[in-house]
Chains A and B, each alone.
Chain A
Amino acid sequence: MTQVKFYGYGLPMMKKGELPGRLIVLEGTDGVGRSTQVALLREWLESSGYAVVSSGLKRSNLAGKGISLAQEGHHLGDATSCLFYATDLADRLERETIPALRAGFVVLTDRYIYSVIARALVRGIARKWVHNVLGFALVPDKVFYLRADLNHLIPRVLNARGFNYWESGMDFMSKRDYYDSYVEYQSQIIAQFDAMGDEFNFHLIDATHSVHDVFVDLRNGISKLIKGMRLGSPRMPKKKR
């Protein structure tokens, strides 16, 4: 059961109680393999008979497109960016995540508020402010933190797509070089995640291991969470004959 519990002031008009689904978050830095694992986990869960939805940052109907467009022009200031991401999270939470949890789905989400917090804090935004803004967020059943150090991350990023403007923190780092900037920025982000571990009760997963090892770790962790859940997709109304 997902308890209806929020980090802050919560969502207006949302009743306390329990939701039959599970909210599971995968967090970690860029290139650590979150999306690969979400894809694998979803398939495993579905083949085991669970109903699953997956979600991730910038995928809201309302704000996803707007954020991507704004980032193309490198136009986003720090507070603006944080509030834009908050809009995206709130929209998905209200319109997708909570209805899915109510219907008994397992919701796998690739990043949650913690990524938004980490990015804001390294840019010098006040912690209290960010926490208040994101106070509408539902507390998940579990947060898996996929951790890998830079030595493991860099080859993966180079193999996959190279360094990207935002992932290298080029919007605020003083270095003009993508590589230097990436190293410095991602180290700071990792430090923020590490510091959040206790506060938000992260379950640490060593993501320097092989994809298969990471998958097994995640599967073991999730198996415990879904024990006792009713199998099968949410009941469809029976067709009248």
Chain B
Amino acid sequence: MAKLPNGKQLPGKLFVVEGIDGSGKSTQLDLLRKWLISEGYCVAFSEWNSSPVVRATTRRGKKKQILSPTTFSLIHAADFADRMEQQMLPALKAGAIVLADRYMYTAFGRDVVRGVHPQWVRKIYSFAVRPTVAFYFRVPLQESINRIALGRPQLKYYEAGLDLGLSNDPFESFRLFQKRITREYEKMVDEFGLTVIDATLRLTEQQEMIREIVVPHLKGVLKAERSAWRDVLTKEQLYGRYLMDIGAERGQK
């Protein structure tokens, strides 16, 4: 059940993925999303740091490198609050499935490593809906770094944790930063009852495990007639050539 902080149950379900960069969580969430849609469920998706209202400010802060541990934490909380109020909560009230790529645990990891008080940041996120399941993708540090190094020739300032002054070398700084975040995540497994997924397993194996955990929660969840137009096409002998333009097939690609 997805629950409001006061314990009230919401009709929708909230599944979140967490883990350090390169743990493969986004890939798994994407696979889950496509599968849920193909099964006919109503799925909303929300990604960390993507609020249309707040994001420009965060980007400004990162670009100019003017974020302190406190403002870094607050602006990400503002971004989260906006997405909670505008995207996630309405969908959960309507009985849909909400998938979140990173959730408050990301803040509890990163911000605390940056030096803010663990209780301060936990209390800030006290308005957040309690997820139905929070998956934590556990990965050996070196493995995740290898994956990141493959895809990204250069690390950004805050991404690499260069603001912490751990090392002047971006990759070394990144390694030390991720190591500390992992330590925080491991503490959170018990604190918040995170569901651990072994991220060294094959992609398909992980996905199978995730679906097995998700399925029992899907009873009574809102389903949508995704292809309401199909019937018309058959009866009227049309191809639906222009349906793509209006996004009728969105989510099926």
Which A residues fall within an 8 A CB radius of B?
A: 8-13, 61-63, 65-66, 69-70, 73, 75-80, 82-84, 86-87, 90-91, 94-95, 128-129, 132-133, 135-136
A selection of 9 A-B contacts at a CB cut-off of 8 Å is A9-B119, A12-B115, A62-B57, A62-B60, A80-B81, A80-B85, A84-B54, A91-B68, A128-B123
Assess whether B67 is interfacial by the CB under 8 Å rule: yes
Contact A76 B53 (CB under 8 A): yes
Interface class of chain A by DSSP:
helix
Residues from chain B with a CB closer than 8 A to the CB of A10 are 117
Which B residues fall within an 8 A CB radius of A?
A: 51-54, 56-57, 60-61, 64, 66-71, 74-75, 77-78, 81-82, 84-86, 114-117, 119-120, 123-124, 126-127
Residues from chain B with a CB closer than 8 A to the CB of A91 are 66, 68, 71
Contact A9 B74 (CB under 8 A): no
Contact B116 A75 (CB under 8 A): no
A13 to B123, CA, bound (A): 20
A82 to B78, CA, bound (A): 8
Contact A132 B82 (CB under 8 A): no
A13 to B117, CA, bound (A): 11
Contact B74 A12 (CB under 8 A): no
A3 to B54, CA, bound (A): 33
Choose from B56, B82, B85, B117 the contact partner of A12 (Cβ within 8 Å). Answer: B117
Residues from chain B with a CB closer than 8 A to the CB of A75 are 52-53, 82, 86
**Listed residue (B54, B71, B75) with the most chain A CB atoms within 10 angstroms of its CB:** B71
Residues from chain B with a CB closer than 8 A to the CB of A61 are 64, 66
Residues from chain A with a CB closer than 8 A to the CB of B115 are 12-13
Contact A77 B66 (CB under 8 A): no
Residues from chain B with a CB closer than 8 A to the CB of A132 are 120, 123-124
A48 to B86, CA, bound (A): 51
